[in-house]
Structure 1
Amino acid sequence: MKAIQDHYPPEFAHCYGCGPANPHGLHLKSYLDDDGTVARITPDPMFSGGVPGNLYGGMIASLLDCHGTASAAGFAYRTRGRAMGDGGEPIRFVTASLKVDYRRPTPIGVELVIRGRLVSLEGRKAIVALTLHAGDDLCAEGEMIAVEFRKPA
C-alpha cells in the first residue's frame, strides 16, 4: 500500500518532514486504516531536545503537522469517494492551526506511532485529532485545523 504522501504531485512532494522528493527530509509516511490514519518513525538522535535521550519538542510538532495534513487529505479522498492517484485533481491540505499538548518526554531510539482521527470535514476545512505514542505512553496529542489548498487561477 502506498502512503498518502506518495500520491502528492511533484510540486507538493518537497516537504522536509514528509516529502518523498526531499533527499534530506524525514520521509514520514502516513496511511489510512480502519481507525483513521497511522504513521511510524524512529527519530535519529540528532533531533535530541534539551534533556538527553528525548526528542526535541519542535520535531514532535513537525511530525504532528505533517501527519495531520496528510490525514486531512486522506480523509477528504475517502469522504468524497475518491481513490488517491485516480487521475483527478490532487487533494492537498495546508495547516491553518496546530495545537500541541506535550504529555511526557518523548524518547529517541524507539518507534513512535502517530495517529490521526477525523473530527470534522466541512467544505475546505478539516479538523484532525492527533496523538503521538512511544509504546504504550502517550507523549503528545494535538488538534489541527487544515484547509484544502487550491491552486491560484
Structure 2
Amino acid sequence: MSKIKQPNSRHCFICGLENPIGLHLHFYETEPGVVETIYTAPDHFQGYPGVLHGGIVAAILDETSGRAFMGSADAPRFMFTGKLEVKYRKNVPVGKPLKIVGKAIKDRKKFVEAWAGIYDESGELLAEANAIHINVPQGKLDMSQLDELGWKVYPD
C-alpha cells in the first residue's frame, strides 16, 4: 500500500498549519490502522538542553494514537482522549529526526484503544503511549464546517 496523506487543520497544536506555535505535523496512513510521520523538534520545545519536553512528547503521542482511527479525509472520525498512559523510555532529542508511529488496537464502536511510539534515527523506541479515545458525541461537531476548520489534505 502506498502512503495516504491525512488531512491537516488550521489551528490544531499538533497538525494546524496556521498555528504559529504549533508542531505542523503531517500524518500518512501507511496501512489500514497505521499512521506515521517524521518530525524534528526545534530547541524551543525542549524541557532541558537537548531534550524534548515531556508534555510535548505526550501531546505528539496523543495525536498520533488517535490518528490511527481517523479514517478518510471526507468522512473523518473525530475523537477526544479519555486516557493516555505514557512510558518515557529514553530522552527524546530536539534537533534530530524522529519517526512517530500510531497503531489502531481495538475498535469498541463508541471508543477505541490505540498505541503510539516515538523512535530515534536508529529505530530505538524512546517513548510510547497506550490510549483510549472516545467518539465526539453526535451534534457536538458540525461536520459541514470542516472547510472552516481548514480540515483538508494539503500538498507537501
Q: What TM-score bracket applies, with the shorter chain setting the length?
A: 0.7 to 0.9
Q: Paired residue for 1:127?
A: 113
Q: Paired residue for 1:150?
A: 137
Q: Normalised by the size of structure 2, how large is the TM-score?
A: 0.77
Aligned residues with identical type, % of pairs: 27
Would you say how many aligned residue pairs link Structure 1 and Structure 2? 136
Equivalent position to 1:84, from 60, 67, 73: 73
Structure 1: 4+ residue segments shifted above 3 A:
none
The whole-number CA distance in structure 1 between the counterparts of 2:100 and 2:28 is 10
The whole-number CA distance in structure 2 between the counterparts of 1:71 and 1:34 is 10
The yes-or-no answer on 1:67 pairing with 2:34 is: no
Q: Normalised by the size of structure 1, how large is the TM-score?
A: 0.78
Where does the alignment leave 5 or more consecutive residues of structure 2 unmatched?
Answer: 141-156
Equivalent position to 2:7, from 1, 5, 15: 5
Where does the alignment leave 5 or more consecutive residues of structure 1 unmatched?
Answer: 78-82
The yes-or-no answer on 1:139 pairing with 2:156 is: no
Displacement after TM superposition at 1:2 (Å): 6.1
C-alpha change, 1:147 and 1:21, in structure 2 (3 Å) is: farther
The whole-number CA distance in structure 1 between the counterparts of 2:18 and 2:47 is 27
Instruction: String of CA shifts for 1:101-144, please: whole Å, max 9, x gaps.
Output: 00011111111111111110121211111110011221101111
Displacement after TM superposition at 1:53 (Å): 1.0
**Equivalent runs, 1:1-40 vs 2, <5 Å:** 3-6=5-8, 13-34=10-31, 36-40=34-38
